[in-house]
Amino acid sequence: MLNKDDFFKIIDYLQDESKISDIPPEVRTLADNCKLRTQVLFKNVVDSAPFASDDYNRLRSLLIDWYTSLKTFQDVAKNNSDAFSLPHTLLNTSLKSFGFNVGRGIANKIDKVLFLMN
């Protein structure tokens, strides 16, 4: 599962997308989608022309990254019921939690999901 360190890694990734840390690609894609939705939300609901200053834009950027990181956690939790959407690390943790210490021995993601579902 994701933890507080992952929260800050997602924020760092959102602020500088060239810094790809050890965030799984599925979570990075989800974070990018959440950021786009959050930017649309801010543009349509929150932004107001009188507040368009440099300070507001910096605060807006911080709030978008913060909210996106939280929303990514929520979306990952929502998608956890679908084993095919889990990244390799979460599949390994899931297999290990059932008492199977073979997660690292199975290289293919599809095989891990099928093993977990059996």
Query: Which residue reads 């293919």 in tokens?
Result: 108
Q: Does residue 105 surpass a pLDDT of 70?
A: no
Q: Kindly state whether residues 94 and 74 are assigned to the same domain.
A: no
Backbone angles phi, psi at 35, to 5 degrees: -65, -40
> Is the same domain home to 30 and 2?
yes
Residues 6, 24, single domain; the answer is yes
First-last CA distance in the chain: 21
Task: Please state, in angstroms and rounded to a whole number, the distance separating the CA atoms of residues 104 and 42.
Answer: 42
Identify whether the C-beta of residue 79 lies closer than 8 Å to the C-beta of residue 85.
yes
pLDDT of residue 40: 92
Amino acid at 75: D
Structural contact between residues 72 and 34, judged by C-beta atoms closer than 8 angstroms:
yes
Prediction pTM value: 0.62
Same structural domain, 33 and 55: yes
- Say if residue 75 is in the same domain as residue 87: no
Q: Check pLDDT > 80 for residue 102.
A: no
**Placement of tokens 């990952």 in the chain:** 76
Q: How confident is the model at residue 96 (pLDDT cuts 50, 70, 90)?
A: confident
Q: What is the per-residue pLDDT across 27-56, written as a single tens digit (0 to 9) for each?
A: 888 888 999 999 998 888 888 877 778 888
State how many domains the chain has: 2
Verify that 91 and 118 share a domain, yes or no.
Answer: yes
- Same domain for 72 and 87, yes or no, is no
Range of the domain at 35: 1-79
Judged by DSSP in three states, 80 sits in coil
Tokens of 76: 């990952």
pLDDT for position 52: 79
Q: Assess whether pLDDT exceeds 60 at residue 103.
A: no
Per-residue pLDDT tens digits for 51-75 = 778 888 888 888 999 999 888 888 8
Residues 96, 70 share a domain: no
